Amino acid sequence: MLFRRSDLPLDTDPAGGFLPWIVGLMVYLAALALAGAVLADGLVERWRSDLADAVTVQVFPEDEPGALTQPARVEEAVRFLEVMPGIASAEPVPQAEIVRLLDPWLGSGNLTEDLPLPGLIAVELVPGAPVDLADIKRRLAEAVPGAVLEDHKPWLGDLSRLARGIEVLALVTMALVAVASVLTIVFVSRSALAQHQEVIQVLSLIGARDSYIAAQLQAYSFRLATLGAAFGVALAIATVLAGNALLGRTETGLLPMVQSFSWHWALLLLPVPAAGLIALATTRATVLRQLRRMA
């Protein structure tokens, strides 16, 4: 039905020429919002998985006379942590690894040897075991002055709320895009009916049903809307890939690589059939209502 020969010269309608561009722009914005929601959700899940049973201890340098050296204080903190209940392991992070983690932020080669860096200890908790981190944090600070235990759960909670906010924003954006698409298609459909009113009247006189005329305009709007949506999705995917490539060069690990979420790419393709279905339903409802008024 959608690809049969058209009895209406719809391609001459000037308003229809803008439909693919308008739909393409709106779908581009919706697809970017959807991609942002997918990446934010993936980021939270990856970090939650990596840090679910882990905490970090920072051992800051001490300048007081008679204080132990930094490596000695780190080892003292490790020995203290290893005997704490609920802690599976405590491993000092090598200085070279700390420098590697800081390089993307400070620039490679900008870390001088006299820069006082805190020692880091990666602590793994026993999965499912009750651990009083507040008590361990207090006792660690007393045993090794300058040692601070960092629990990741509070900022993971903040990150989760941020991801949920991005998802809500994406849903709102897609809803606004759908509403704007409906209004645009209504305008194009009414414009086509007004421009080709005489041809439509002739078709009605020779026995054409309203549903037949509506199908003519449905095929027209479906073709333009899906064309624009496909262009918008392609541009959005190109934008995401370009942004992903740029972020990948920073090696900060802030965002997951797009390749690790390949199954989510199907979500970015959804606006194409969605735009087509919106065009079909909106055009049919608009045309049938207008034809009843013209009768």
Q: Of 145, 176, 201, which residue constitutes the final position of a domain?
A: 145
Tell me the pTM.
Answer: 0.69
pLDDT at 1: 47
Mean pLDDT of 210-218: 84
The mean pLDDT of 268-285, rounded to a whole number, is 91
Which one has a higher pLDDT value, 5 or 140?
140
Of residues 256 and 215, the one with the higher pLDDT is 215
- 160, 141: one domain: no
Q: Say if 201 falls within a structural domain.
A: yes
Residues 43 and 100 placed together within one structural domain of the fold: no
| DSSP-derived secondary structure for 45-71 | HHHHHHHTTEEEEEE----STTPPPHH
Same domain, 254 and 163: yes
Q: What is the DSSP letter of 132?
A: -
Q: What is the distance between the alpha carbons of residues 106 and 151, in angstroms, rounded to a whole number?
A: 24
The more confident residue out of 264 and 161 is 161
Element (H, E) at 179: helix 153-195
Residue 253: per-residue pLDDT: 46
| Rounded distance between C-alpha atoms, residue 146 and residue 76, angstroms | 12
Mean pLDDT confidence for 76-102: 85
Instruction: State how far the Cα of 167 lies from the Cα of 37, in Å rounded to an integer.
Output: 5
Indicate whether 141 and 193 sit together in one domain: no
**113: pLDDT confidence band, cut at 50, 70 and 90?**
low
pLDDT at 27: 92
User: Into how many domains does the chain fold?
Assistant: 2
Beta strands 119-125 and 87-92, pairing class: antiparallel
pLDDT at residue 278, as a whole number: 92
pLDDT, the chain, mean: 80
Task: Say if residue 40 is in the same domain as residue 118.
Answer: no
Mean pLDDT of 209-227: 87
Cβ(224)–Cβ(23) under 8 Å? yes
Nearest to 176 by CA among 284, 25, 293: 25
Q: What's the pLDDT band for 248 if we cut at 50, 70, 90?
A: low
Single residue among 145, 179, 203 that ends a domain in this structure:
145
Q: Are residues 117 and 216 in the same domain?
A: no
State the residue range of the domain holding 288: 10-48+156-294
Residue 5 domain flag = no
Q: What is the pLDDT of residues 148-183, one digit of tens each?
A: 888 877 777 787 888 888 888 888 988 898 899 899
Whether 182 and 241 map to the same domain: the answer is yes
Judge whether 21 lies within some domain.
Answer: yes
